[in-house]
A = this chain, B = another copy of it.
């Protein structure tokens, strides 16, 4: 489901000199004694030598040969194929089945009734250059999963990306979407936000299209000439209200296993409130071309050869009719275990989903085949006598695309066990040519920097860390450049949502990482029938070099975590990062205060109205409530405590060895630190999301909100709740600091 590599992993950095770091590669590895470091390095060399890119190519061809969405015959075949391989590599393997709600389209009609008749094709044609694009009988039609059924007719309004700020702009221009159908561009938020916000504003239907500015000829040559979306390409995808909870909409909080308590369809809170349909830009063009009303603001306009208007004037009337088969379908997670030799109750879990929207060569097979090759090599090492200290679990999730169902149901089913045993979850998804991107728990930031330092980029012979760092130094914003130059470690991004780490990190509080390469692999095939082997091997990662690089990064990550004497968690980077987040919310409040004051002043003194063109409609917005001064002291004090604890732990552990028994005790504390960042009551209005530091945004979807309770209360101008959430997150951070103190005492 992972969309754009670059959008998700956007903030990073690295140390000053590119070369200085490389020299460190002989240093002792984090969590290892000097002796065990050397042993581990030898193991990693063996591991590298086992990796074969032919396997990635062959498996991708096999797994993407036919459409394999959840519930499809080929999806089941794939699960069985993957399981059989894991078994053959020596893993204790089983397939866990979950029965989940998965609607598929029965009726899809989109027509323009006036000013001219037009019936949308809603069809991605077969291309001669793409050998799997003709598998019409098995392909899922273009649709958004978890849209409700609906039959609506109304005037059309163009709402840009359809996020809350866009509706403020519309209101200023006197445009209302009540009783109307909106058309939004893909992008600017996770797609599920668009119908949610549209419905909140009174719209009765929602179309989402891929504008060629964002995903089409404006970006580059279109498929099959180039990688980008052609005029018929359409992005399928889930529109469930995932920021409330992911997974099966009928079984929040519990696994959708046999006998699970299921909500009635009508009570499922994450289904959309209005019907939603994704369309191509060739289907959107006739609608948009006919729109009347004001010209859209400049930054709303796309790359279609028209003047973008807002509509809402009865110029364009459309009819949208959608009906779905509301079936329960089986989802098959493949779980493969290699039991640890010594700390078998500490699990390192490594996952990637296997289901796709259609053939899904890129999403998710490009990541999955890297995971499989990693697992094969680890299995091979085990056959040669290697025993990991901790238990390694490989997972190939089903039903990620409709909303992380395979991973979520598994995590919910095994919640108690996982809270007890899971040390770290390592996720991958799509992968392509380009630059390393890492998101995850900042307690693992130093560790993953060390890993990335030790893998060589296939195109440049720099380490993948160095190439990433160089990218930031060359193309970063001034702020990113400065940080890259000055900060020792590459800053990893915080995780929002969009792939299978969410149930582990944000529901269970398991420290997680999400890793992938990209940025030179073009776009455009995402969730369309053109995400195929042919497309991927021309534009994605033609030689699977970056698939191998991913296997090397994730293999090292898994093996080091599995073998370390002590789990390589580290807290000064985490504390520094929390310091950034605290600074962010302080700054956010300050900026909102200034902007509110400035806006209210312009409303009051009439200047806002005075500068408007009187020939255009302009509705002066209501003044906003003033931004009060919030008591951030608890948060600042908690931060102080955290930073002190992190420092103390660093000092306490420096060059110290502890007994194997103490190591085990320490591990137990360390692996539970992330749990300390969660709160059983969860976030306001979404108790499934327990993590107090990282969450997907309630109005951004994939996009992360750090310190979400506090930040979103401020953004929503809920000052009372902001105050309460400051207390809550401060307490959470203090509890976390206590855990660090406990750990430090073992030395």
Contact = CB atoms under 8 A, between A and B. Distances in A.
B306 A217 contact: yes
Contacts of A467: 610-611
A301 interface: yes
Interface in A622-674: none
Given A305-B212, A305-B304, A471 B221 contact: no
A221 B301 CA distance: 13
Task: Give the interface centre of A474, A611, A615 by most chain B CB atoms within 10 Å.
Answer: A611
A467 B434 CA distance: 51
A607 to B, nearest CB: 4
B307 A217 contact: yes
A305 B307 contact: no
Given A18-B607, A295-B220, A607-B18, A602 B307 contact: no
Nearest to A602: B474
Nearest to A231: B305
Given A217-B305, A434-B613, A481-B598, 20 more contacts: A217-B306, A218-B301, A220-B295, A220-B307, A221-B295, A221-B307, A222-B307, A226-B307, A304-B305, A433-B613, A435-B611, A459-B614, A462-B610, A467-B610, A467-B611, A470-B611, A473-B607, A474-B611, A475-B611, A520-B613
B217 A607 contact: no
Nearest to A613: B520
A605 interface: yes
A460 interface: yes
Contacts of A611: 435, 467, 470-471, 474-475
Nearest to A474: B611
Contacts of A257: none
22 contacts: A18-B605, A212-B305, A217-B306, A218-B301, A218-B307, A219-B307, A220-B307, A221-B295, A221-B307, A303-B303, A433-B613, A435-B611, A460-B610, A462-B610, A467-B610, A467-B611, A470-B611, A473-B607, A474-B602, A474-B607, A474-B608, A520-B615
A225 to B, nearest CB: 9
Contacts of A434: 613
Contacts of A460: 610, 614
How many of these chains are in the complex? 2
What is the size category of the interface that chain A forms with chain B?
35 or more
Contacts of A220: 295, 307
Contacts of A520: 613, 615
A359 B590 CA distance: 54
A605 B608 CA distance: 51
B306 A602 contact: no
Interface in A601-621: 602, 605, 607-608, 610-611, 613-615
Interface string A199-218: 00000000000001000011
Contacts of A435: 611
Contacts of A304: 305
A554 to B, nearest CB: 23
Contact of A303 (B18, B305, B433, B470): B305
Contacts of A18: 605, 607
B473 A602 contact: yes
Interface string A458-470: 0110100011001
Contacts of A481: 598
Task: Give the interface centre of A303, A434, A435 by most chain B CB atoms within 10 Å.
Answer: A303
Contacts of A228: 307
A614 B546 CA distance: 14
A605 B467 CA distance: 12
Contacts of A608: 474
A147 to B, nearest CB: 29
A723 B462 CA distance: 43
Contacts of A602: 473-474
Nearest to A614: B459
Interface in A418-477: 433-435, 459-460, 462, 466-467, 470-471, 473-475
A550 to B, nearest CB: 18
A473 to B, nearest CB: 6
Contacts of A462: 610
Question: 5 tightest A-B contacts by CB?
Answer: A470-B607, A305-B305, A471-B611, A470-B610, A520-B613
A279 to B, nearest CB: 17
A183 to B, nearest CB: 18
A217 B434 CA distance: 36
Interface string A296-321: 00000101111100000000000000
A615 B435 CA distance: 14
A226 B292 CA distance: 12
Nearest to A212: B305
Contacts of A212: 305
